[in-house]
């Protein structure tokens, strides 16, 4: 695909400019700031900035969300000690820290995803708001190659905090992914999302995102989400990109089952090109594999355009 694009561009048959931006979305200018240029390739960077939202609403139903009473029971693991229980995706000592409260940004734009099976609702995955009504997550959180889409089984709780749900919950109008995951089953393409039946993102805000063809090695990474060993609490850990492949990023952030779908994001100063604020680089999806790092599909130009079109 890269070869094809390059050849087409050389022939002057297509534009190399990014396409597919949603109405009202302002793309950062393509540039090469902070990127080493080579004679052979001019590298690009493009993105959208995060939006911090308007804070805790007096009534979540004004955004189409459902109120969730404190103490609403989501079945799941509870750890009196909170100790590491031996999962290999905690790399070294467990460095995770609880996020509490969860009503500041980006905690409130970080989404607990539950799945209900046979009438029992349990913690399933994490997602991140990427628009007023769009949550992004891992592909395997919305589609399973053996059983299909999780249609009608998922519920989304932005900023859930243990047994309190300051932004209520929403359900999915449409589950989304890409054929690289649903047809090819490629771990490199394991990303997806859900268009919600609410516009709660207007109050929670949403993460930004950007793509670059430059190496991201050494870029700081933060993952905050809902690990399965922490009773629907939000936990955070920071590290850096250890290996950046063209379709996948590898990092040593401590994660546990349930963190799938978290934003792997970095913080960029106001005015940064492409994206400023909380800027997603990848979709967290996998615990330790080859190379002894955790990993997730990298946001590339085509993926950025695709998910932007889901807004």
Partner 1 sequence: MRRPLRMRAVLLIGMLVLGACGRESGTSDQDPQPPLTNTQATVTGVVVDQGGRPVDGALVQPKSLDSPPLPVPELAVFSGPDGRYEWHLAAGRYEFTATKDDRTGPPSEVTAGAGATAQVELHLP
Rule CB under 8 A: which of 250-289 touch partner 1? 255-260, 284-289
Smallest separation (angstroms) from partner 1 to the CB of 148: 6
Of the candidate residues 41, 54, 100, 144, the single one contacting partner 1 (CB under 8 A) = 144
Active-site residue among 89, 169, 260, 276? 260
Q: Give the single-character DSSP code of 88.
A: T
- Asked whether the beta carbons of 179 and 31 are under 8 A apart, the reply is no
Nearer to partner 1, 140 or 242 (CB): 140
Active-site residue among 49, 124, 140, 237? 140
Tokens of 157: 């709780």
Phi, psi of 266 (to 5 degrees): -125, 160
Q: Enumerate residues 6+ apart whose C-beta is below 8 A from 101.
A: 107, 161
Tokens of 204: 């929670």
Decide: helix, strand or coil at residue 202: helix
Footprint (CB under 8 A) of partner 1, residues 171-200? 174-185, 187, 189-190
Footprint (CB under 8 A) of partner 1, residues 11-30? 11, 13
Footprint (CB under 8 A) of partner 1, residues 209-248? 226-229
Q: Is 260 a catalytic residue?
A: yes
> Sheet containing 120-129: which strands, arranged edge to edge?
154-158, 110-117, 120-129, 134-138, 191-196
Of the candidate residues 17, 147, 218, 270, the single one contacting partner 1 (CB under 8 A) = 147
- 174 exposure class (CB count in 10 Å sphere: 0-12, 13-18, 19+): middle
Nearer to partner 1, 30 or 302 (CB): 302
Tokens of 137: 């997550």
Smallest separation (angstroms) from partner 1 to the CB of 271: 31
Footprint (CB under 8 A) of partner 1, residues 43-102? 75-81, 83, 85-89
- Asked whether the beta carbons of 169 and 157 are under 8 A apart, the reply is yes
Q: Is 124 a catalytic residue?
A: no
Smallest separation (angstroms) from partner 1 to the CB of 306: 5
Residues recognised as catalytic: 140, 260
């Amino acid at each position: 695909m890269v070869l094809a694009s390059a050849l087409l561009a050389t022939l002057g048959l297509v534009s190399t400019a990014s396409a597919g931006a949603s109405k009202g979305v302002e793309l950062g200018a393509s540039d090469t700031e902070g990127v080493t240029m080579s004679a052979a390739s001019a590298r690009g960077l493009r993105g959208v900035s995060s939006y911090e939202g308007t804070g805790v609403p007096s009534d979540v139903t004004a955004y189409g969300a459902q109120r969730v009473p404190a103490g609403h029971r989501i079945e799941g693991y509870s750890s009196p000690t909170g100790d590491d229980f031996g999962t290999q995706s905690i790399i070294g000592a467990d460095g995770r820290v609880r996020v509490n409260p969860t009503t500041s940004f980006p905690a409130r734009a970080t989404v607990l995803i539950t799945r209900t099976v046979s009438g029992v609702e349990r913690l399933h995955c994490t997602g991140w708001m990427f628009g007023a009504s769009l949550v992004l997550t891992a592909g395997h959180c919305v589609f399973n190659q053996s059983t299909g889409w999780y249609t009608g089984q998922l519920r989304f709780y932005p900023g859930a905090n243990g047994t309190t749900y300051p932004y209520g919950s929403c359900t999915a109008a449409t589950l989304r992914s890409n054929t690289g995951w649903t047809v090819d089953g490629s771990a490199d393409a394991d990303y997806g999302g859900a268009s919600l039946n609410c516009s709660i993102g207007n109050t929670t805000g949403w993460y930004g995102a950007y793509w670059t063809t430059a190496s991201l090695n050494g870029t700081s990474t933060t993952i905050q989400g809902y690990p399965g060993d922490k009773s629907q609490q939000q936990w955070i850990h920071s590290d850096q990109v250890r290996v950046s492949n063209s379709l996948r990023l590898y990092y040593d952030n401590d994660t546990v089952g349930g963190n799938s779908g978290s934003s792997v994001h970095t913080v960029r100063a106001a005015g940064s090109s492409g994206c400023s604020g909380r800027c997603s680089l990848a979709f967290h999806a996998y615990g330790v594999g080859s190379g002894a790092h955790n990993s997730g599909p990298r946001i590339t130009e085509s993926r950025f355009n695709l998910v932007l079109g889901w807004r």
